[in-house]
Structure 1
Amino acid sequence: MSEIPEGLQEWVEFAAPQLGLDAAVVPVNELLGMTGVIAHSVVRPAAPISAYLLGLAVGSGAITSYEAGDALLRELAKAWEANA
């Protein structure tokens, strides 16, 4: 996704600090891309759940980086679709 929907970046900049996070580290475009793949490959409600799972995995240290988790979830979604 190349263009962030209107108001989304502003929402991130508003909400992130309230959660104790730096809005600058939120990979908005990448998250939209990953959740788009999951929504189309698995089922639409899996997209926000997957973003939450990724956040938990990175926050707990189970996944070493956002990028690693993003890549893994995209692979899993494609495998899910292939096996469906």
Structure 2
Amino acid sequence: MSEPSQLDAWSAALARELGIEEESLGHTGALLDVARDAAHAVARPAAPLTTFLVGWAVGTGRVTVDQGVAAVERLAARWTEEMPG
């Protein structure tokens, strides 16, 4: 089983366990991209926390997935310029 197939199978199984419709998994690529951006701009542990926070914001209706992804992209792009360390 290849890496993407394992990821797809895991995501589908986890969605079922959490009671999430599998059709909602259409943004997996975008979430992996923001995880990468956070890991590279901030620190590796920022990746899971970032995806959690975007998911939380989406789940509570504060933003759409696209808005959440855009917010992470904006912040990550300027992080190294504006933040110390």
TM range (shorter): 0.7 to 0.9
| Pairing 1:21-32 to 2, within 5 Å after superposition | 21-26=20-25, 27-32=27-32
Q: What is the aligned partner in structure 2 of residue 39 from structure 1? A: 39
Gaps of 5+ in 1: none
Gaps of 5+ in 2: none
Q: What is the aligned partner in structure 2 of residue 67 from structure 1? A: 66
Q: Distance in 1 between matches of 2:46 and 2:15?
A: 22
Q: Distance in 2 between matches of 1:31 and 1:55?
A: 9
Deviant stretches of 4+, over 6 Å: none
Deviation at 1:45, TM superposition (A): 0.4
TM-score by length of 1: 0.85
Is 1:10 aligned with 2:42? Answer: no
RMSD across aligned positions (CA):
1.4
Deviation at 1:5, TM superposition (A): 3.2
Structure of greater Rg: 2
Count of residue pairs the alignment pairs up: 80
TM-score by length of 2: 0.84
Q: What is the SS of the residue equivalent to 1:7?
A: helix
Identity across matched positions, percent: 34
